[in-house]
Structure 1
Amino acid sequence: MKNTFLRKLSLMLAVMMLPFGLVHAAPGYNIELEKVNNNVRDQESLQRGAVLFANYCMACHSVELIRYNRIARDIGWTDEQAIENMAFNQAKAVDYVKTRMEPGVSQDLFGIEAPDLSLLTRVKGNDYIYTFIRGYYEEEEGKWNNKVLTGTSMPNVLEGLKRHASDEAYDQATTDIVNFLDYVGEPSKVQRWDLGWKVILFLLVLLVLTYLLKREYWKDIKH
């Protein structure tokens, strides 16, 4: 009886921990990805990442599954700050974060429509995005390629930043951009983390109480 209960308890714990293993499982790629080590709890990093995204990415890309006022609430800005820092006062707080590029321009310039990046980190992973935006190299003067995605249509938008910033500043900037995209991919991630351990603790306590109740009900019954 006791061994059976322990086996069932071990199985339940393994099942509850399975999602955590899946979250941290990295997809396979042909190159070694750089580790970004971003932290979505770091609001200052998220704020810097939001500004960098607005300055370097929103000319082509959008994150249209989230609104400016949601970003403001989560990363420690007022609605006015979000609009000023990301939309340059050209949008409303309730608007979704859309690209500033007119429809069709990306197709004409690059031969492809620039994708929305709302779920990019959830699809590709943080390390992939970090390695990609840092992976540009110049094949010949003025002609760039990328070690992660050969022949990419996306230009090296961070070329100027890398050229004029220190290595430390460039590393921080690229980390902040990925951190912001990580947040956008799942805005409730921090709340989920904070709630998750409480739910697991409640289930464990409930499991113990249920087992004790079961023993009390069956103690006088012979098997």
Structure 2
Amino acid sequence: MMTSFLSRLSLVIAAMVFPVSLVLAAASYNIELEAANNDIRDKESLQRGAVHFANYCMACHSAQYMRYNRVARDLGWTDEEVVEKLAFGQRLPVDHMMSFMEDGVSESKFGIEAPDLSLMARLKGNDYIYTFLRGYYLENEGVWEPGNWNNKVLEGTSMPNVLESFQKHSSPEEYEQVTRDLVNFLDYIAEPNKVERWDLGWKVILFLLVLLLLTYLLKREYWRDVKH
């Protein structure tokens, strides 16, 4: 009887997971994405990524759903440190992480409003962002000019190669680390409590399994003297 119950339970779980797998399969891209291999448990990487985000992304992009003091609490900084490192002393700890660009400048310079990056990792996926950041190439090889850049992931993108200095002057390993740190931070701000959810998840599953066993034993006890 226990085997039959577990079989039915597995079918229910499969039915719930199958539509999700179809959605994930439909979200594929026409290019092969590089694996980001980021680790949101790596606090030092998150700190480096936060600084890179402030230096190279926030001139145009915002992370409107994050506050500086939340980043400070999660990454091990004081409120004073986070304001100095990420806002250059120009914001308050309770402020949202908004772009320093004035309204309308992005449209006039690039022809499009720079998107908010708070949930970009959940929308596009870490591998997509990692491949995009590393996907810039020179249309005329050797001519390091802003208008000469294109991107293999999104041809004709309006976004300039903000990591050009790293790509040009750093080693391949250093450039790879910078992009991975940035993706790591974007993954973190997209769901700041992800690590807590992971740590809580296995405990919930264990509790449900124990509850399942107790429920089955209780059911057997209730029906023990009942003839079928």
Under a length normalisation based on structure 2, what TM-score does the superposition of the two structures give? 0.91
| CA spacing shift, 1:77–1:9, aligned 2, 3 Å | same
- Counterpart of 2:36? 36
Deviation for aligned residue 1:11: 3.5
- Counterpart of 1:77? 77
Deviation for aligned residue 1:8: 2.7
Are 1:125 and 2:125 counterparts?
Answer: yes
Number of aligned residues: 220
- Counterpart of 2:203? 198
Q: 2:222 aligns with which of 214, 217, 221?
A: 217
Deviation for aligned residue 1:78: 1.1
Output one character per residue of 1:15-63: Cα deviation in whole Å (capped at 9) or x when no partner: 78x49x75x9463111111111000000000000000000000000010
CA distance in 1, matches of 2:15, 2:72: 36
Q: 2:193 aligns with which of 185, 188, 193?
A: 188
Unaligned runs of 5+ in 1: none
Deviation for aligned residue 1:12: 5.5
Are 1:100 and 2:89 counterparts?
Answer: no
Output one character per residue of 1:177-202: Cα deviation in whole Å (capped at 9) or x when no partner: 00000000000000000000000100
Q: 2:160 aligns with which of 155, 159, 162?
A: 155
Output one character per residue of 1:55-88: Cα deviation in whole Å (capped at 9) or x when no partner: 0000000101010000011111111111010000
- Counterpart of 2:179? 174
CA distance in 1, matches of 2:167, 2:149: 14
SS of the equivalent of 2:158 reads: coil
Greater shift, 70-79 or 39-48, is seen at 70-79
Q: Percent of aligned positions with the same letter in both sequences?
A: 66
User: What CA RMSD, in Å, does the superposition of the two structures yield over aligned residues?
Assistant: 1.8
Greater shift, 213-222 or 155-164, is seen at 155-164
- Counterpart of 2:56? 56
Output one character per residue of 1:95-154: Cα deviation in whole Å (capped at 9) or x when no partner: 000000000000000000000000001000000000001101111332111000000000
SS of the equivalent of 1:213 reads: helix
SS of the equivalent of 2:139 reads: strand
Unaligned runs of 5+ in 2: none
Deviation for aligned residue 1:13: 5.6
SS of the equivalent of 1:137 reads: strand
Are 1:137 and 2:100 counterparts?
Answer: no
CA distance in 1, matches of 2:12, 2:74: 34
